[in-house]
Structure 1
């Protein structure tokens, strides 16, 4: 059963808690979404609040995928670039699919929904994202049309002695 995607859903306590739980579950399963395991929803809450504030200020949009049971199963945030010379592209952040749904093509569905959302924004010509090297994420994003356009070696310190590349990917929309 495919996910149902919604751009800019109403942020209810249920949605907020669903995103927090998704984020914790993805992190604890080894997902590269800004934290290292183990985490709790409370550990993640301050970062989600920052995302929600950006939404309230019009600097970001939220894309949510719900499963057939109505649970939050996937998310991505589209963040507008505020630099006046770079407003023609958006950032894609916090791209997540719940571990129970991985391997079903939902990651591709999420990226396709994010692309559709970005194409619907005035003046947006590309989507840019970064991912943590060493996990094969560049291959996945590449298979979805993104091109690696840069790499900062060792920019992400997962743990002492465990530094990963910060890989910059771009999807042109024109």
Structure 2
């Protein structure tokens, strides 16, 4: 069953809690979304609130994909650039698909929906994102049209002695 994607949905308590559960579950499954397992909802909540504040201030936008039950199954946050010379591209953050939906093509669907959404933003020519090296994400994003444009070796410390590259990827909006 395909996901239903919505850009800038109304943030209801159910959606807020669903995204919080999604982010916690993805993190605990080893997803590279800003945390290292184990995490609780209370560990993730402050970061989600930070995203919601940025949305309220017009600096971020949310794309959410809901499953047939209406529960959030995938998300991505857009962040606008504030530097006057970089306003022609957006960042894509916290790109995630719930572990129970992995392998269904929803990651590709999410990225396609993100591209479609970004094409509606005034003056946006490209999407940039970063990913944690050593997870295979570079190959996945590459297969979705993103190109690696930079890498900072050992920039992400997952654990003592486990440093990963921070990989920068770009998707021009042809």
Q: Same fold (TM over 0.5)?
A: yes
Partner of 1:78: 78
1:69 and 1:15 map into 2 onto residues whose CA distance is 12
Q: In 2, Cα distance between the equivalents of 1:169 and 1:128?
A: 6
Distance (whole Å) between structure 1 residues aligned to residue 139 and residue 150 of structure 2? 14
Matched residue SS, 1:140: helix
Task: Give the C-alpha shift of residue 14 in structure 1.
Answer: 0.7
Does the residue aligned with 2:123 lie in a helix, a strand or coil? coil
Q: How many Å separate the matches in 2 of 1:23 and 1:100?
A: 13
What's the offset of the Cα at 1:41?
1.0
The whole-number CA distance in structure 2 between the counterparts of 1:144 and 1:74 is 16
1:1-150 alignment to 2 at 5 Å?
1-150=1-150
TM-score (norm 1): 0.99
Q: What residue ranges of structure 1 are gaps of 5+ in the alignment?
A: none
Counterparts of 1:37 and 1:13 in 2: how far apart (Å)?
Answer: 25
RMSD: 0.5
Q: CA deviation at 1:166?
A: 0.1
Aligned equivalent of 1:161 = 161
Unpaired stretches in structure 2, ≥5 consecutive residues: none
The runs of at least 4 aligned residues of structure 1 exceeding 2 Å deviation read none
Report how far residue 115 of structure 1 moved.
0.3
SS of structure 2 residue aligned to 1:50: helix
